[in-house]
Amino acid sequence: MPWPAWVAPALLLAAVALLFGGLRRAAVAGRRVHGAWHHLRRFPRPPWRNWLLGHMGMAKSTEEGLQNVDNLVGQYHHCCVWWIAPWQPVLRLFHPDTLRPVLLASAFVAPKDKLFYGFLKPWLGDGLLLSHGRKWAWHRRLLTPAFHPDTLKSYVGIFNRSTEIMHAKWWQEAAGAPVVLDIFEPLALLTLDTLQKCIFSHDSHCQERPSKYIAAILELSALVVRRQQRLLHHPDWLYRLSADGRHFARACAAVHGFTAAVVQHRRRELERLGHQAWLEGHQGRSMDFIDLLLLAKDEDGRDLSDEDISAEADTFMFEGHDTTASGLAWLLYNLACHPHHQERCRQEVRELLKDREVEEIEWEDLSHLPFTTMCIKESLRLHPPVTAVSRRCTKDIALHDGHVIPSGTTCLLSIYGTHHNPSIWPEPQVFDPLRFSPENTQGQSPLAFVPFSAGPRNCIGRSFAMAEMKVVAALTLRRFALRPAERRPARRKPELVLRPEGGLRLLLEPLAEAPWPGRGGPGVGATAAGTGE
């Protein structure tokens, strides 16, 4: 049947309208790109491949990639612009003066950029790390009390016992003589163990035998890194069809299933018993994160849904384990490479624990380890677990020197670059804990040292992580002497966190003076404080 006469003109009109609409949008985009380009060309631009490819593929997640950052920072001091595609500039910032206006801007003006964390979304959902806008602001307000020192206090016992389990295994492997061990994996299991106990009050004994839940988390972290490195796996639909994509979906389902079961079980108990009886029922076990999130309410009495609580718990498990394990591994490595600093920390710990019946670090002790704390900070400076964070400016942001970061620009705030900036830290490659002595930190910019980021989206788990690192470091130095196992320096690998390439092998020597098993020390299978679900 022939089409009615009006169809052809109507189609033509629609095509013209579409064309004009498209042209108008292209003109607006063109004007915006031109405006942005006008501002951005005032920033220094390191040599690129060519005008078409820009700096595409020049940033590398390797030791050499980090050395390139050292060169950039040495040459440009404040910032430089990097073109990862002809239409995609990234402003790299590595000085407190250039970090300040972006990091301290409201979370609405400089929200997180999706470029770096997008692949975590199916796993972490709308947890604090990935959410934005009003939802993030509301959750951040509700979650902050869960990290108050009064709450963190009750976790220190868990840190002690989880460390004992790791040490008991090391002690067995050493059998009384020095032994070379890769410390990264045991530290990752240790941090996962403590988090599972602090968040869920669940003891999966993951340091002693395989745990499906913990295996799924480790698999998810590894798969996210692999996906970042494989361009073909970037589109969701292609990834879903791949073997990695299917493994990712399976591991996500396992993690979500565990978290949802705990949250729903607790919610049912809360509803069955009522508030008061439920709180009293906690006798014998301290409140964990899930309890705190179930009870959290804002001023209008609104609380978090089960889905919200699960996303936050999954986020803490992810964000808290690899970061703290990386921080600890590099700390022990740096102390192994600097025996005199190691010995000074050990003296501090010995002094603290002398005359104690049980050698356990308590909450109050954490403020009596000044030199160990300086070593932890210096290690976080030299080897920051998170090497960079990213933001996307939704407004023009003016810098101290009159330069303007145009709206729409992605900024890569380089924590590693700032910590290695020779205009802030003389001889930045040298491990010198005295940089953090009270005299030497006077007058220093608070943004010169930002391992936990800064501003509204800083790390909510900072005090938790610092407390855990102090306990693990103090107990490890009390029980073992550490030496590097190899002559050449460890190669660094910046992935989701800064890892040692191929693991981190140290020579561990059990100290005769330590209270080892049979002498009241850690025993294999020492049980943890959690009650289990």
How many residues of this chain bind ligand HEM (CB under 6 A)? 23
403 belongs to the binding site for ligand HEM (CB under 6 A)? no
329 belongs to the binding site for ligand HEM (CB under 6 A)? no
Q: Pick the stretch among 204-212, 319-327, 335-343, 499-507 that binds ligand HEM (CB under 6 A).
A: 319-327
Smallest gap from Cβ 531 to ligand HEM, in A, equals 20
What are the angstrom distances between the C-alpha of 487 and each of 184, 491, 507? 18, 12, 12
For ligand HEM, give the closer residue by CB, 36 or 142. Answer: 142
By rule CB under 6 A, what string of x and - marks binding of each residue 330-369 to ligand HEM?
Answer: ----------------------------------------
Among residues 519, 503, 502, 500, the alpha carbon closest in space to that of 511 is found at: 519
Residue partners of 76: CB distance under 8 A and separation at least 6: 44, 46, 94
* Per-residue DSSP letter, 511: -
**Helical segments of 126-233, H only:** 133-143, 149-152, 156-174, 184-200, 212-229
Smallest gap from Cβ 460 to ligand HEM, in A, equals 5
Among 82, 159, 316, 480, indicate the residue that binds ligand HEM (CB under 6 A): 316
CB 341: neighbour CB atoms within 10 A? 20
Smallest gap from Cβ 289 to ligand HEM, in A, equals 8
Q: Which H helix or E strand runs over 342?
A: helix 339-353
The beta-strand segments (E) located in 216-354 are none
Among 324, 334, 372, 387, indicate the residue that binds ligand HEM (CB under 6 A): 324
Whose CB is nearest to ligand HEM? 461
Could you report how far apart the first and last alpha carbons of the chain are, in Å? 70
Among 452, 472, 498, 510, indicate the residue that binds ligand HEM (CB under 6 A): 452
Kind of pairing between the strands at 498-500 and 410-414? unpaired
CB 147: neighbour CB atoms within 10 A? 17
Among 105, 349, 386, 508, indicate the residue that binds ligand HEM (CB under 6 A): 386
For ligand HEM, give the closer residue by CB, 45 or 153. Answer: 153
- Greatest C-alpha distance within the chain: 101
125 belongs to the binding site for ligand HEM (CB under 6 A)? no
Residues 337 and 505: beta-carbon distance below 8 Å = no
In this structure, what token pair is assigned to residue 340?
A: 């005199």
For ligand HEM, give the closer residue by CB, 385 or 510. Answer: 385
494 belongs to the binding site for ligand HEM (CB under 6 A)? no
- Site residues (vs ligand HEM, CB under 6 A): 112, 128-129, 140, 315-316, 319-320, 323-324, 327, 385-386, 389, 451-453, 457, 459-461, 464-465
